[in-house]
Structure 1
Amino acid sequence: MTIELDAGLVDRVATGKAVLFLGAGASIGAKRTDGSGIPDAGELGRRIATKFLGPGYDNADFKTICDFAASARSGREVQEFIHDQLEKFAPAPFHLLIPKFAWSGLATTNYDLVLEDAYEAAANRIQELIPNCKDGDGAPERLGSKGVLYVKLHGCITHYQEVHPPMIASTEQIIHHREGRAGQFAQFLEWARTRTIIFAGYGLGDFNLRVLIDEMRKDGDGHPWHYIVRPNIKEVESDYWRQRRARTISATFEDLLISLDAQVKSTGRQLALHPVTFAGTSFTRFISKAGASESSMLLRYLASECEHVSKHSEGALATPAKFYRGFDLGWYPITNDLDVQRRATQILMDERIVANQGIVKPQFVILKGHAGSGKSVTLRRLAWDAAVKGDCLVFRLESPAGLSKDAFDEIFQLTKQTVFLVVDNVT
C-alpha cells in the first residue's frame, strides 16, 4: 500500500541524508525454503527458553531469558542456537527495495543476515553493504566510494562462535559496558546528530528503542527530526514521540519502502552519492601535492567518520540556556563564545600548536578531568581556535574507534603541514 509521506522525509532520503535503523520487526517477511517465517524477538526468546530453561519463562523479556540461558549452559551455546534459528532466511520482495536508495548508513539491533542477502540479491543496488559487526573489524576502512556502513550493534550470527565481544541482548548493555562496541555506538550517535534516522521494526514500547532515543536526547534537540515507523500508532503515542523530536508514521515497513520507491525519483538516486564522491572538502586547500586531490575513500571518511575543523563547521540550532543546562550542542557554544576561558586551552595553544616548528615525530597530550568538568567543550575550543584563529590543519573524532590509518596516511601524503588530531571520549 502506498501512503503519502512527509516531504521532509522524502527529501532526506532522496539526498542521501537518512539512516535506516532496523528492529526485529523489519525482518518479518523473510522466509526459508520450507515456507517458515523468521521469528521476531518474542518468539526467539520463547525458543531459547524452551531449549535451555524449560517452562515458566514465557513472559520474561529477551535479555532476561538470554542471561539465564547463558548461566544455565554457556554463552557460546546460546549464540550457536540463535545462529541456527536465524540462518538461511531469504529476504522478502520489499527488502530488495532497500538497496535501491543511497543511505548515509544503516544500523540494526538484529543478528540476522536478511539485509546482507537483500544487497547481494539486488542487481540494481546503488551502494555496496559493508557490515560492521564489532569494533576493530576494519569495516570503515573498506567503505570505498560506494560503500555504506551497516552497524550491527548487538552483533551478528556470522560471529556466533566469538564471545569477546559476545552477541548481546539489549542496547543498555552497550551503554553500561561498551566492550567491543563503543565505537559502533559512537557512530550511531554521530548519525543521530547530523542525519535523519528512520526507526523501523520496533514496537513503541520496545526497550531498545527507548534507550536509543534517551541517549540521543542527552545531546539536546539540535539534531534533525527522526522518524518511527510501525502500524496502528495512536495519537497519544505520536504526541509522546513528537516531544522527543521523533515523528511517527503509522504504516508497515513494507508500506514505507513501497511509498519511498514511488515518491523518490529513481533518476536522481545515484546523484545522492555525488556530494561525497565528487565534491571537494574544506581540507582541499591544504593539499600541497601538485595535481593531487582527495581519493573517494578519503572523501567518504571526511563526510561520515572524521570532521575537518574549519570556519564552516556547523553548530546546532540552539539557545544559550540549553548549553548552560548541560546539553552537548556541538560547535554552537564555541562559535557563539558561550564557553568559559580555560587556562589549559591557552597553554595547549601556546606550547603544542603555535610552537609546532620543532615537531618531528608524533606527540600525544591527554586532557584529564572528572565527568562533567568540561573536557569535551575544552577540546572543541582548542580545535576551533587552532583551526580558525591559527589556520592549522585540525581534525576531530568522536572516539578513537573512528581513526582510520589509511585515511590519515593519505592526508600525510597530500599535505606538508603539521596535522593536529583532537579525539574525544578516550577511556
Structure 2
Amino acid sequence: MALSDALIEKIKKGKVVLFLGSGALFGADLPDKKIPLGNDLRDILCDRFLNESFKDADLAHVAAMAISQTSLFEVQDYIRDYFSDLRPAQFHLKIPNFRWRAIFTTNYDMLVERCYTLNRDPMQSLSIIISNEDNFDETRVTNDLLPYVKLHGCLTRTHDSSLPLVLTTDQYNESFDVRKRLFNHLYELAYDNSIVFVGHSLLDHNVRSVLLDLEKECKGGQRHFLIKPNVDEIEKEFWAHKKITALDITFSDFLDEIDDRISKVDRLLSVITPPSTHPIQAVFNKHVSPSDELIDFLTNQVDWVNPDIPTLGSDPLEFFKGVDQGWDPVAQEIAIPRNLAQNINDLAIEKPEASRDEKHEFYVVKGEAGSGKTILLRQIAWDVGVSRLGIALWVKPGCFADLDIIEEIIEKTGEKVYLFWDDAAVNAIELNRFLQKLDRKELPVTVFTAERYNEWNTRCEDLDELVSDKFELRYLAENEIDLLVHRLETYSSLGPNLKNKTHEERCHEFREIYGRQLLVALHEATMGEPFEDIISDEYENIYPEAAKRIYLTVCVLNRLRIPVRAGLISRIHEISFSQFQNEFYKPLEKVVIISGSGEQDIHYQARHSEIAEIVFRRALANAEDRYQEYINIVKKLNVSFSTDRSSQRSLLRAKSLHELFPQYEDVTAIYAHALESNGTDPYILQQQANYERIRPNGSFDEALRLLEQAKELAPYDSSILHSLSVVWRDKSTNEDDQRLRRKYRAEARGYLNQMITKWGVDGYTSSSLIELSIEALNDLLNDDAATEFSIREAIRSVQQEITDNKRKFPSEKQVHVLEARFSELIDDHRTALTALEKSFEESDREPHLAIRLASLLVAEANFDKAEEVFKQALERRRADHKLNFHYAEFLRNNSKPSHEDLMYFYRRAFTPGDGNYQAQFWYARYAFNLSDAKIQQEVKGIFEGLRKARLPHAAKVEIRDFETAGTERKRFTGTIKTKRSTFGFVKVDGRGDEVLFPASSVEDGLWDAMIEGDRVSFSLGYSFNGPVACQISCDK
C-alpha cells in the first residue's frame, strides 16, 4: 500500500520518530548464524544454557533461568558475542539518508550504529541515550544530532549491573526506574511528531504497554503508524481507534518508497546544518579555523557580543513594560545608561592589567528584583564588545560556559575574555565549577554575574569567597529619572497617567510618588495603578481560558528564573507547538516571550520573573489550587533536560514546600508524584527528608531512611552527608535520654568526619562540629555523675575547635554565636569555671584553656589576672600561634601597648602564607608606618596576599582600624594623584605613599568638584586590602 502524503510530508520535515523492534532486523546478515526474530532469542538461550524443555516458555522466563544457572554478565556477554558480526541489509543503509526526530528501539544490537558508520554522508550523527543519566540537551539545539534511545539496554554495556539488557520481567520492572525519563521523552515527542513502529509483535506486553500509554499520555498528539506486513483488517480497525494507522508493508518497502518520493533537495532542506565558520574568525590573530566545538559553543551556548550581532527591531513600548528583548534595547540605545556602569567600567573593565591581583576576576552586581540588573550587564557587555576591549561572551539562559573552549578563543585571538553569566543563584553550581577551574588555569578571563540581594545571601555562599568586587544597583538617581522620562517621551510610552503632564511633573511622579525601583516605577507611574493590580488585571483579562492556564504554568515555573521548554508545556496542557502557534500565540503575545533557535529548542518566559511571581501569588492564592498546579507540572517534568532539572530542584525544595503547603499530605503527594514520574532521584529523597525534619511533628526516623536511600544512590554528594548529620543532631536535641543523645551526636559527628575525609574541612562543617561539642559539654555540666576531668577535657576541646575555626575561617559568622553560647554555658555553671581554672594549672598551662580562662576573666573585668594567665601560658608555649594571637588581641583591646609590642606578638601568630589572616592583617597594619625598607616590602606582600585570600568581599573591604592621636582619629594631608569615576589615589605627605580612597569617603558632597592635584586632609584606615583614606575634606 502507498504511504499517505501526510506521512511523506512529516518525513520531509523531520517530524517522524522511528521505533524499532526485533522485526526491524529482518533482512540483516549474521554470518553462520540465524537472525533472532520472534521467539528465536529464547531458543538460542535454551540451546546455550538450558535444554529443549524450556522452549515452550517465554523469553523472560528462559532468560531468568539462564541467569540463575550462570550469571547476568555471562548471559549478556553471550548475547553480545552472538550479535557481534551483525551486518545491515542494503535497505537498512537508507535509514541515515533521512532526518528523523529520534529513533527509539527495544533492540540491544548495533545495527543502527553500523548503518550510520557505513553511510558516507548521513543526514545526522547519532547521540546514543541509554538511561535517565544521559542528557538530551545537546540534541535540543540542533537537529543534526539524532537521539538514538535504546530502551532495553545496549551490547556495549553488558557489565553495567545498573543497566542490564532487559531480558526478564523482573529486569523490565527494575530497570524501568532508571529508564523512565526515556519513555517520558517518547510521549512528549508524540505531541508534535508521528511515531512509526517497525518490527514489533503485538503479543509482546512491553510494546502493548507503550502503545497504550501513548494513547493515555498523548491524547492531543499526532497520528502514529505501525508497519506490519499482512496485518488483519480487524486489527487495523482496533488500532485506528487509537490514532494508530496499521500499514500492510515491510520495513524494506517503507524505506524504498520514501527514498523514491522524497528528493535529495527536500532532505537537505530539513536539516539545520551547523555552520563550518563563524564571524569571530575575523579577530583571530593567526590563519587558523575554529574547532567544531567552538562554533557550536558560539552558536548555541553563548552570544559573541559585537557590533554585528543580529537585532530584531523590537517595539520600545513593550520593553518599557518589562519584556526581555535581548540585545535590541541596548543596541538601539532604548535602555537608559546607569550611573553604576561607569563605576564598573573603571574598576573592572579599563583597570590596567598591572593593577590586577590576578589574571582572572569575578564581579557581581546585586540589586532588588526588577532593578535593571540584566539590562545593565547587557550594556556593559555591549560596550566591551563594540569597543573591542576584549572578547565579550553572554551565556544564554539554561546554558553553561566551557572553559576549555574559552581557552581556545584566548589562544586564537590573543584577547582577554569578558564572560557575562546572569542569574548567579540559578547557575551557582556551574559558576562555582567554572571559577574553580579558572583559578587553576590562570587564564585572562573576567566574569560578571548579577543576583538579587536575598538570593545571593542564601544561595551563593560558595561564590561569595571568590568575588573580586561587588557592585550594588540602587534606586534611580535624579539624572537617571530625567533620562528615563525623556526616553518614554521619545518612544511614546508615557501611558495614561503621564501623558498629559509636563516633563517636570513626570519626573516628580517617579521621584516622589512611585519610588525609584525601575520595573515597578515604570508600570505604576505610566499606568497610575499599583504594580500588582496591573499585573493581576492583565492576567484576568486573558482569553480564552486555556491560554490563561498556559500562561499560569509559564509563570509558576518562570518565577524561578528558568526558561520553560515548549515540550513541557505540550505534555502539561496536551497541545502541540503548532497548536500553540495557531490558537494561543495571539492571546499570549504580550505576556509570553518565545525564544529558541528552532522548533526543537523553543522556550517560553514571562516578561520578568517578578511579574511571574505576582501572577503565581494572585492566581494561586489558596493551597488547593497551588497543589493541583504543582502536581500537573511535577508529573510531566523530564529532568534529562537541564531546564526541567533546574525547575524540579527549585519546585521541590523542602523549605519552599513547607511555606506553600500547610497540609502534610499535599507535600508528601507532590514528592511521591515526582519520584513516580522521573524515577528514584537522590535530590528528591533528600528534600523529602529535609521536609520531614522541619515540619511540625515530623519523623526523624523517616528522614534518616530517606537520606540513607539517597546516599546509596549518590555516595559522593556531600550535601546528603551533611543532611544526615543535621537530622542526627536534631534528633539528639529532641531526645530526653542522655545515653541516646550521646549516641545520636556520635552519628552526626561521624557523617561530618566523613565529609572532612573526602572533601576537607570548611567553615560550615567546622561550626557544625563545634555545635555538637557544645551540646556534649552541656550534657556533662548537667550530669551530677560527670567527673571534673571530663568537664575540663570537654571545655578544652570546645575552645580548641573555636580557635581553629576563627583562625581558618575568619568570615564564618556562626562561630561567633557558638562562642557566645559557650561562654554563657560556663558562666551559668560555677563548676565549669572552677574546673577550667584547675585544668589550666594541671595541664601544663595548655593554650586553649588559657585562651578560654582569660576570656572569662576579661568578661569579669579582671584584666590583671587575665594577663597573668596569658603570660604563664606563654612561658611554656612561646611559639604557639593561637596563644600569641589572643594575647595580642587582649593587649590591643584592654591596654595601651606600643605598636612594637603588638607587632611582636602578632608576628609570632602566623607563618607567611598560612591561613591566620587576622594576625597577618594586624601585624601589617602596625608595621605600615615603619620606615624599614625590608619590613615595608613584607607589609606590601601581606596585604597583597590578603587581597587574594578566599574571603567574602565584605570581609576584605571592612575598615578594621584607624590611625589615632589619643582618642581622636589622626588627620593626614596629601594631594589627589589619580581620580576615576568612583575612586582615586591620594599621595600622602611625608613618605609619599599612594593610598586608595572611594568616592564615598569624600565629605560635604565635593566629589564632583574634586580634581587631580587638589590638596586634601583625611583619616587613615586599614582593611584587608590595605590602607584606605577616609573622611576626606578639601583644602580649597
Q: Normalization by structure 1: what TM-score?
A: 0.70
| 1:402 corresponds to 2:641 | yes
Q: Whole-Å Cα distance in 2 between the matches of residues 137 and 209 of structure 1?
A: 23
- CA gap of 1:265–1:242, structure 2 versus 1, over 3 A, is same
Unmatched segments (≥5 aa) in structure 1: 299-306, 317-326, 336-348, 357-367, 381-396, 409-417
Residues 91 and 252 of structure 2 are in contact (CA less than 8 Å); yes or no, is this contact kept in structure 1? yes
Residues 24 and 110 of structure 1 are in contact (CA less than 8 Å); yes or no, is this contact kept in structure 2? yes
1:7-406 aligned at under 5 Å gives the runs 7-32=5-30, 34=31, 36-138=33-135, 140-141=137-138, 145=142, 146-169=144-167, 178-274=176-272, 285-286=325-326, 288=378, 290=382, 308-309=563-564, 329=574, 353-354=613-614, 375-377=630-632, 398-403=637-642
Q: Percent identity of the aligned residues?
A: 25
- CA gap of 1:208–1:178, structure 2 versus 1, over 3 A, is closer
* 1:114-151, Cα deviation, whole Å (9 max, x unpaired): 00000000112100011112232456547873210100
Residues 129 and 149 of structure 2 are in contact (CA less than 8 Å); yes or no, is this contact kept in structure 1? yes
Residues 96 and 116 of structure 2 are in contact (CA less than 8 Å); yes or no, is this contact kept in structure 1? yes
Q: Whole-Å Cα distance in 2 between the matches of residues 77 and 95 of structure 1?
A: 30
Residues 191 and 221 of structure 2 are in contact (CA less than 8 Å); yes or no, is this contact kept in structure 1? yes
Residues 52 and 72 of structure 1 are in contact (CA less than 8 Å); yes or no, is this contact kept in structure 2? yes
Structure 1 window deviating more from structure 2 (235-244 vs 60-69): it is 60-69
- CA gap of 1:35–1:81, structure 2 versus 1, over 3 A, is closer
Residue type matched to 1:68 in 2?
M
Q: Whole-Å Cα distance in 1 between the matches of residues 648 and 74 of structure 2?
A: 47
Partner of 2:962: none
Q: CA deviation at 1:37?
A: 4.4
Residues 136 and 641 of structure 2 are in contact (CA less than 8 Å); yes or no, is this contact kept in structure 1? no
Structure 1 window deviating more from structure 2 (177-186 vs 119-128): it is 177-186
- CA gap of 1:44–1:271, structure 2 versus 1, over 3 A, is same
Residue type matched to 1:91 in 2?
P
Structure 1 window deviating more from structure 2 (81-90 vs 100-109): it is 81-90
Q: CA deviation at 1:182?
A: 2.1
- CA gap of 1:215–1:355, structure 2 versus 1, over 3 A, is closer
- CA gap of 1:24–1:159, structure 2 versus 1, over 3 A, is same
Residues 41 and 62 of structure 1 are in contact (CA less than 8 Å); yes or no, is this contact kept in structure 2? no
Residue type matched to 2:193 in 1?
R
Q: Whole-Å Cα distance in 2 between the matches of residues 378 and 122 of structure 1?
A: 41
Residue type matched to 1:183 in 2?
R
Q: CA deviation at 1:165?
A: 2.0
- CA gap of 1:379–1:206, structure 2 versus 1, over 3 A, is closer
- CA-based RMSD of the aligned residues comes to 4.4
Residues 25 and 201 of structure 1 are in contact (CA less than 8 Å); yes or no, is this contact kept in structure 2? yes
1:411-426 aligned at under 5 Å gives the runs 425=677
Q: Whole-Å Cα distance in 1 between the matches of residues 141 and 574 of structure 2?
A: 30
Partner of 2:3: 5
Partner of 2:1004: none
Q: Whole-Å Cα distance in 1 between the matches of residues 567 and 218 of structure 2?
A: 21
Q: CA deviation at 1:68?
A: 2.1
- CA gap of 1:315–1:128, structure 2 versus 1, over 3 A, is closer
Q: Whole-Å Cα distance in 2 between the matches of residues 285 and 353 of structure 1?
A: 20
Structure 1 window deviating more from structure 2 (270-279 vs 157-166): it is 270-279
Partner of 1:363: none
Residue type matched to 1:269 in 2?
R
RCO higher in 1 or 2 (8 Å CA, sep ≥ 6)? Answer: 1
Residues 568 and 637 of structure 2 are in contact (CA less than 8 Å); yes or no, is this contact kept in structure 1? no
Mark the structure with the bigger radius of gyration. 2
* 1:243-266, Cα deviation, whole Å (9 max, x unpaired): 111001101111100011111222
SS at match of 1:91: coil
Partner of 1:323: none
Residue type matched to 2:76 in 1?
Q
Q: Whole-Å Cα distance in 2 between the matches of residues 15 and 377 of structure 1?
A: 31
* 1:368-412, Cα deviation, whole Å (9 max, x unpaired): 99xx966432669xxxxxxxxxxxxxxxx722222279x99xxxx
Residue type matched to 2:95 in 1?
I
* 1:212-264, Cα deviation, whole Å (9 max, x unpaired): 11111222521000000010011101001111110011011111000111112
Residue type matched to 1:166 in 2?
P
- CA gap of 1:284–1:209, structure 2 versus 1, over 3 A, is farther
SS at match of 1:270: helix
- CA gap of 1:164–1:379, structure 2 versus 1, over 3 A, is closer
SS at match of 1:199: strand
Residues 19 and 197 of structure 1 are in contact (CA less than 8 Å); yes or no, is this contact kept in structure 2? yes
Structure 1 window deviating more from structure 2 (173-182 vs 60-69): it is 173-182
- CA gap of 1:269–1:377, structure 2 versus 1, over 3 A, is same
Partner of 1:303: none
Structure with the largest fraction of helix = 2
SS at match of 2:91: helix
SS at match of 2:55: coil
- CA gap of 1:285–1:43, structure 2 versus 1, over 3 A, is farther
* 1:26-79, Cα deviation, whole Å (9 max, x unpaired): 0122213x3544222411111112222222121222222212222232211111
- CA gap of 1:284–1:177, structure 2 versus 1, over 3 A, is farther
Partner of 1:338: none
Residue type matched to 1:83 in 2?
R
Residues 284 and 293 of structure 1 are in contact (CA less than 8 Å); yes or no, is this contact kept in structure 2? no
SS at match of 1:210: helix
Q: Whole-Å Cα distance in 2 between the matches of residues 220 and 294 of structure 1?
A: 34
SS at match of 1:58: helix
SS at match of 2:217: coil
* 1:332-351, Cα deviation, whole Å (9 max, x unpaired): 99x7xxxxxxxxxxxxx999
- CA gap of 1:5–1:130, structure 2 versus 1, over 3 A, is same
SS at match of 2:52: coil
Residues 52 and 69 of structure 1 are in contact (CA less than 8 Å); yes or no, is this contact kept in structure 2? yes
Q: Whole-Å Cα distance in 1 between the matches of residues 395 and 124 of structure 2?
A: 20
